[in-house]
Every structure is written in structure tokens, then in C-alpha cells.
Structure 1
Amino acid sequence: MIHDIKEYVKYLDGIHKRTMQYVKVIPNELLDWKPSEDKFSTGDLLRHIASSRLMFLGIFEHGSWIYTGHDTGKGASLDEISNYLEACLIKLTTGLLRIGNETLTKKVLTLHGHEISVWRILMAIPEHETHHRGQISTYLQLNKIEPPQIFGLKIEQVKRL
């Protein structure tokens, strides 16, 4: 369970910084690339991560799930997408700090209409971002681009017993 919203916001900032490491290695020509026609493009995934931050915030502030989409109007270039990611993180973290710790045990409805505590929805935010960052890692590798190592080393560089 999450007990301190300020500590949680610091954790989210770390998740965001690792996502931004990926943004730095994506070439502009890969933004429209997708593994198949029915999948998100690389740019779609990044815009989706950002827009989802606002969707999650809407649950806490208004009690409703509203997704504003991931179209190119939210960023067509890497610079624009980076700015959108940053702006959405600021809105999310500012909103979370405003609602405070007393909201953590408040009940909200999931997308399926089940009632759960706010702290459980908060747990979904980094899981969601990490899931899509994994997709971006795969997209990079499929395009012969080495993804960043989120903690600085490849497993092959860690000392073995």
C-alpha cells in the first residue's frame, strides 16, 4: 500500500526519467514505425503514456475515466512529444500532491466498474508506463537500435558467482 503521496511522486519521477532515456535514443524516422498496421507506432506509445497520466489524474480529481487520445496533435516530433510527456507529468504530480495522503484510501471505480482504493490505481500508473516502455524497447531492437540500460548495466556486465 502507498502511504505517502510525496514519496510516491518521487518514485514516479524516477519512472519518468527512465522513460525519457528511451526518448533520447529514438530517431525521428522511427516515430511512425509500428510492427503491424493494427499496433501503436513508437510515437503513439509515447503520446499514450503521456495522455494516460492525465486519464489517471481524472480518476482522482473527478472520479471519471477520460482518455484524450494519442494523436499527433499532442506531438508530431520528438521535441513536441518530450514536451507533452513533461507537461503531463507535471499535471499529474501537481494534482497528486494537491489531493494528498487522505485520498489514498478513498474508493474509486475501475474501468470495469469495480470499487477499489485510490492507492491501487496509483500502483497501475508505473506498471502501465513500464509496460509500454518495454514495447518501445522491443521496437528499438527490431530496428537495430540498442535501448538504454535503465540501471546502467546489461545483465552480462553483472558479476556472476
Structure 2
Amino acid sequence: TRLQEIERSFTLDGRITPRFIWFEINSSQCNERCVHCYVENAQSGLPFADSFPKLSASDWKRVIAESADLGFVRAQFIGGEPFMWQGEQGEDVLDLAEWAISKKFKFIEIFTNGTLLTKKNVKRIAELKIRVAVSLYSIDPWTHDNCSLTI
């Protein structure tokens, strides 16, 4: 039955297993200052700024691989702004997403404010079949910019 099919999709080795994970790759950097966001505090110099470890690309690859081994198949890369993250060898969020795909993640999404998207990374996003979620607070530019405090 459909219910059994749904139940099977949430189990691994007979146990109910989470299937969706957030990878907060860049918790203290963003090029916007959204009034509702905790990242603003990190950029204001408050102690929060150093409360998250800065993981290297190899650390993130290990975390992604371990997550896949635990049964996660859907992931969202979030920040701060994920397109501001850079690994020690120049890796970017798309390199991490590609790694996740190689580890059999079936759904990858990057949550971004969209301001740093380039033709080059949009092309790569399309090639990798990654979804993108974009912050948009209003169709009115003034309202959006006053919420995001676009800089």
C-alpha cells in the first residue's frame, strides 16, 4: 500500500531514520544584514561570531559522507550565505554539493540570498541539477531591501 511505501522511505535497517539534513557551512558570513537573522549578530562583533567552528573542505566532505552512511538522502546547504564559503584549496559550496551527489544524496538545495550567483555557478547548478531557494521578502524593492538591509 502507499502507506507502507511511505513508511519504508523513512526506515533504514528497520529503524525510522531522518532523511533530510541541513549543512550550515557558513554560519557567520553574509553579504546582507537581514533584520531577523542571527548572522547579523556574528558580524556585529558579539561573542556569537566565534561560536561555530570553521570546517575545512575535507572536514565537510567527511561530515557529508558520514551523513550519507547514516541514511540521509536530502540536504540543504545554508549559511550565512553559502556562496561566501571557501575551502582551503578554493573549493566552494558547489564542490560540496557535487561531493554530496557522489555520495548518493538524491536531493540537494542551496539556500541563498541570490546576490552572489554568477553565470558560471548558475550553469554548474543546472548541470548538477541542484535546487536553489532564494530569500525574497517582497516584490517591492524598497520593502525587500529594508528587510534584508542589502549592502
Higher-helix-fraction structure: 1
Higher-strand-fraction structure: 2
* TM-score in terms of structure 2 length: 0.27
